[in-house]
Amino acid sequence: MLDLKSKSVIDLSHTLDPRTEKRHVHVEYVTLENYPKIFPGYVVTEADKIYPMHTVEFASHIGTHLETPYHWNRRGRDCADIPAERLIGDAVVLDLRDVAPEDEITVEHVKAAAEKVGGINKGEMVFCHTVDKTNQEKRAPFFSTEAVKWLVSQGMSVFAVCAEMEDLVRFGPDGDFPNHDALFSHDCLLIEYVTNLEALKGPRFTAIALPIKIVGLDSCPIRLIAVQ
């Protein structure tokens, strides 16, 4: 059992506000007269006048979200197929903030950052800190495919980055989206748009990254938590 009494709990996920979010997210109040249509077989009672229910619709790649191998390979595992033990575990932060926005993060960069934290342990989630929360709207550095492949070779289970999709992917001689292929072909999960890493006290922590367990879903927003 996870003892939180002497631990810090740090939220590493973005808040999704339907009023301001650029990507699709819609929350709608369900009126009593629409209950039978939205919830077939539901019997409306007096209590339903007191508490609300809503429908929610969102793009799968929105906010802080986890991507599964199914996103890249239709035979890969989707959000419902990922074992729970893959979503909670040891994590390490690589500080790459010295790489300028839109510059390339090379294999030499990640090796040096890994050496500073004592290396990457097999099965760890690797969080790459490229921009702080206050600068998150700026474009982040790009990862070279060689850097991603090296991290995969160290045995990481999840690759987590501060960037959005267009900041992470490079088109190259290995084909379209070579970074995605380097990750998902080895069953490595991907978390994009991580925030607040600067709030951590040290490079290692326990990460909790839970998507909704929906069959056929390639990616899902998550509440990403660090326990340290």
CATH number for position 72: 3.50.30.50
User: Are residues 220 and 126 located together in one domain of the fold?
Assistant: yes
User: Are residues 47 and 76 located together in one domain of the fold?
Assistant: no
pTM of the model: 0.92
Quote the pLDDT of residue 112: 98
Min mean pLDDT across 55-69, 167-181, 209-223 is at 167-181
Phi-psi region of 196 (alpha: psi -120 to 50; beta: other; left: phi over 0): left
31 lies in which domain range?
A: 25-58
Q: Are 222 and 191 in contact (CB under 8 A)?
A: yes
User: Are residues 45 and 69 located together in one domain of the fold?
Assistant: no
Quote the pLDDT of residue 167: 47
Strand-pair partners of 89: 207
pLDDT tens digit string along 160-189? Answer: 999 865 545 555 555 578 888 899 999 999
Over range 28-44, report the average pLDDT. Answer: 88
User: Are residues 108 and 204 located together in one domain of the fold?
Assistant: yes
Quote the pLDDT of residue 97: 94
Q: What is the chain's mean pLDDT, rounded?
A: 91
- Count of C-beta atoms within a 10 Å radius of residue 14: 19
User: Are residues 82 and 161 located together in one domain of the fold?
Assistant: yes
Better-predicted residue by pLDDT, 191 or 136: 191
Closest CA to 205 of 143, 114, 124: 124
pLDDT tens digit string along 84-131? Answer: 999 999 999 999 999 998 889 999 999 999 999 999 999 999 999 999
Over range 21-50, report the average pLDDT. Answer: 88
Over range 30-34, report the average pLDDT. Answer: 88
Q: Are 173 and 181 in contact (CB under 8 A)?
A: no
CA gyration radius, the chain: 19
User: Are residues 88 and 37 located together in one domain of the fold?
Assistant: no
Q: DSSP secondary-structure letter at 30?
A: P
SS3 at position 145: helix
Strand-pair partners of 56: 27
User: Are residues 196 and 120 located together in one domain of the fold?
Assistant: yes
Domains in the chain: how many in total? 2
User: Are residues 51 and 126 located together in one domain of the fold?
Assistant: no
